[in-house]
Every structure is written in C-alpha cells, then in structure tokens.
Amino acid sequence: MVPRNARSLAASALAAWAVAVPAHAQPAGQLDPLKLAHLKAGYLHWTAHITEWPSPAEGSAGDSPAAPEPITVCVLGRDPHGVADVFESASQRARLEAQRRPLTLERLAYVPDAATDATTDATTDATTDAQMDAGAPAREARRAFEASLGRCQVLFVTASEAPHWSELHAWVADRPVLTLGEFPGFARAGGMLEFWVDAEQRELEYRVNLAAAERAGLRLAPALLRIEQVRIVQDDRKRSGRRERMRAGHGSGRR
C-alpha cells in the first residue's frame, strides 16, 4: 500500500542521497555526473516507496507469516555514470527498504530475441535442425534474460538501451514493473518515469506517464505529482490518435 506520508518520505530520502555526494562534486549551478547518479539512485529508492503493486495471491489459511518479499531494482544496460554503483554502495552502508520490504539490486545486460534473427531454408521455408542447434545457446540466453526481467519490480533502463526500448516495452508493458529511463522520449514511448536534464535551468526533471503505470496495474502516490520538477506526458500513440480523430472531425465538418 502506498504510504500516506509519501511526500515527506521524498524529502528525507532524497536529502539522504544528496548528502552522500561529496561537496567538491557539486559545483554551483552545475549538474555533474556524480550528482546525477546520486539523484537517479535516490529516485529509484523513493519510487519504490510511492508505488503500489498489485497484491500477490494470499497464502492458504494456517500458513505461517512469511518474511516480506524483497523489491528487486534492476539496472539494464551500460551505466557509465554509476547509478547502480551508488545504489549498491548505499545498500552496503545501511539496509535499504521500502514499504517494510528490503530492496535488492540486479544488473542486467540486454540479450536480443533469437526468434527475430532466425533464418529459414529457402527451399522448405522452415528452420533446419542445424540452425535450431546453432541458435540454442542464443535462445537459452534470451530465456534467462526474460526470467531476470520477470524478477524486477523496478526497472531502470539506461541510455544504451534506447534502440531496444520498443521491443523491451512490448515485453514489460502489461506486467507490474515500474519502468524508469534516462533517454529522451522514454516516457512518450510508454515508459513510466523519464529522467530529463534541463540544460538551461541546470536541474533534473521527471516526466511521468501515468497512463502507462495504470495499464500495468500500478498506482503512484499523488505526492509524486506535487513535486515541482515533475511533468505529466502522454504516449505518442495516444497523441497521434487524438490528432487523427481531430482531423476526421474537421473533415466531416467541411461537408
């Protein structure tokens, strides 16, 4: 359940993460990579506080209370600024948790879908046994990758994975996975929260796609929307659909 004091949790959690940045790493009026890494790691932590996931199936009557399931935070792709390192370092100094559940970190590397690269025999139009054997390791690697994705409750997609986001989004869109990304257009392409650097204001902003979260069965606390740096965005496909309906309406009005 999303805590009622989510806004105060934001202030305290982000302040704690900011303190972890050495003073010499924060030049006035500038967002350097180390500070950005701490801000992003702090938001990975805080969003776990303010997200309500679908309730798991309840155990049978008489079961002894189980230990709370961890929330798995995954970092997918190359991470040159060290967001995962910052998060892991903080978890080593003190136990990180959200909603009374421990947080665990998993680093993932993208594995392409072998099925999209399958070649077929020109005569039979069917994949040969030799090709099936040759592709077995790739398929096994992809299955392991998808199994890892399936363990994520929070998925941070780094900029290196922008070319793969369309495929990844199709895989996670209907699953209860909170997606965050750091490349332009992430939220409009179905991601839930996009880190966006405002070069003029020299600050980190957050673009939020509430519809994407709702489709995945997630609920974000209203406190998120009261943060000054948060901007609500819509899917590009929704915007294009609305434009098509407007054009259709204008066309019918001319008759």
Listing DSSP states for the chain in one string gives ---TTHHHHHHHHHHHHHHTS-GGG--TT---HHHHHHHHHHHHHHHHHHEEPPPPPPPPTTPPPPPPPPEEEEEES--TT-HHHHHHHHHHHS--EETTEEEEEEEE-----GGGG----TTT-S--HHHHHHHHHHHHHHHHHHHHHHT-SEEEE-GGGGGGHHHHHHHHTTSS-EEEE-STTTTTTT-SEEEEEETTTTEEEEEE-HHHHHHTT-EE-GGGGGSTTEEE---HHHHHHHHHHHHHHHHHHT-
Residue 241 domain-assigned? yes
- With b meaning 16 or more CB within 10 Å and e meaning fewer, what string describes 55-65? eeeeeeeeeee
Residue 18 domain-assigned? no
Contacts of residue 78, Cβ cutoff 8 Å, sequence gap at least 6: 158, 159, 160
Residue 101 domain-assigned? yes
Query: Where residue 88 sits, what CATH number does that domain have?
Result: 3.40.50.2300
- Give me the sign of the Cα torsion angle 23, 25, 29, 35: negative
- Count of domains observed in the chain: 1
pLDDT at 108: 98
Contacts of residue 103, Cβ cutoff 8 Å, sequence gap at least 6: 45, 48, 70, 71, 72, 73, 91, 96, 97
Lowest mean pLDDT among 40-49, 146-155, 238-247: 238-247
Q: What's the mean pLDDT when you consider all of the chain?
A: 78
Q: Is the pLDDT of residue 30 over 70?
A: no
Residue 118 domain-assigned? yes
Domain that holds residue 165: 25-54+68-253
Query: How far is it, in rounded angstroms, from Cα 218 to Cα 154?
Result: 11
Strand-strand pairing, 51-52 and 219-220: antiparallel
* The two three-digit tokens of residue 85, written as one number: 């390192």
Lowest mean pLDDT among 27-41, 102-116, 123-137, 218-232: 123-137
Residue 184 domain-assigned? yes
Query: How far is it, in rounded angstroms, from Cα 52 to Cα 42?
Result: 18
Residue 177 domain-assigned? yes
Residue-wise pLDDT for 217-252, tens only, equals 999 998 888 888 889 998 876 554 444 443 445 454
Q: Which of 206, 214, 213 is nearest to 232 (CA)?
A: 206
Residue 8 domain-assigned? no
Residue 5 domain-assigned? no
Q: What is the rounded average pLDDT of the residues 139-160?
A: 96
> What pTM value is reported for the model?
0.77
Q: Is the pLDDT of residue 37 over 60?
A: yes
Of 45-49, 91-95, 107-111, 203-207, highest mean pLDDT: 107-111
134 confidence band (pLDDT: 50, 70, 90) = low
